[in-house]
Structure 1
Amino acid sequence: MSAGALMGRVRMMLARAVIAGVNDLAGVQAVQLDVLDEETLDDVERFGTYGLASHPHPGAEAILACIGGLRSHGIVIGVEDRRYRLKVEAGEVALYDDLGQKVHLTRDGIVIESTKPVTVKAPHAIVDADRVDLAGEGGKAVARVGDAVANGKIVEGSAKVFAA
């Protein structure tokens, strides 16, 4: 291989691309990419991070790695979508989507936000906290089974669970 051909392959090893479509039906997600002006690549494998799954929208940006500098053997090694990117402080981590939903590990604690219902599916769930406020802070103590009730009013409620 000539030095010029070798340099061409080196230059083709990494490229920026725009996702044009996603096929999430196979064992590995495949994407269609617009790479250079009038260069489209079909069925390019997208490698993700174990334990995290995402389905990017068309228009998201990708980093394409071409093994041996061959466009016929490309893999997507990273995807970003600046339209929806959540900005976090140094050291923070977040899981987020295009609807504004997020699980944010902040410097002050974990914040879960959603505009949709949040469902917990488990055979048993435990909340271990010094205080639980249902529907916001400032509510009255919630009665538990066995708490004192007199004349239809709760005389003694929980010291940990409150509801607005």
Structure 2
Amino acid sequence: MVDVSEGTTVAGKALFVSSSREIAYQLYQYILELRPDWGEVMAADSLAVLSEKDQKEILPAAKIQMVMTRGKDDDKTLYQLLGNKVYRKELDRQFKNIKSNFKIAIVVDMWLTGFDVPFLDTIYIDKPIHRHNLIQTISRVNRKFGGKEKGLVVDDIGVKSK
């Protein structure tokens, strides 16, 4: 549990960085076993209090999504889950909206550099990342944002010791 009093969370947005597509998919499936409702496409919790413009921009979404390109060898379920380029672009837009129901992204290579979400609270790293890419990846979560002074980096692979 993240301690909100430390200022590490404001939006509940998290990014899981997996070391492979297979691990990412297994993680996704495991999380949905524990929390099946997180995979249901739902409107944002606060939709009733949003402006009309925000209501049009915030689409119903599952709380957790995998963000990666499709592979020619993906099984049918995974292939359909990942969607096309237009779908991934919409995921990008929804994740960058603080009010969106899309809170948890599982990635392998996408969104590690050049992806700015100032209210991203937590990043879980389970992938060997080095030098500039490591700095860029950690920077995804260390943006200051209204009430957030720092983010939380969970190093599952021992990046710090490498």
Q: TM-score range by the shorter chain?
A: under 0.3
TM-score (norm 2): 0.23
Say which structure is richer in helix: 2
Structure with bigger RCO (C-alpha 8 Å, 6+ apart): 2
Point out the structure with max Rg over C-alpha: 1
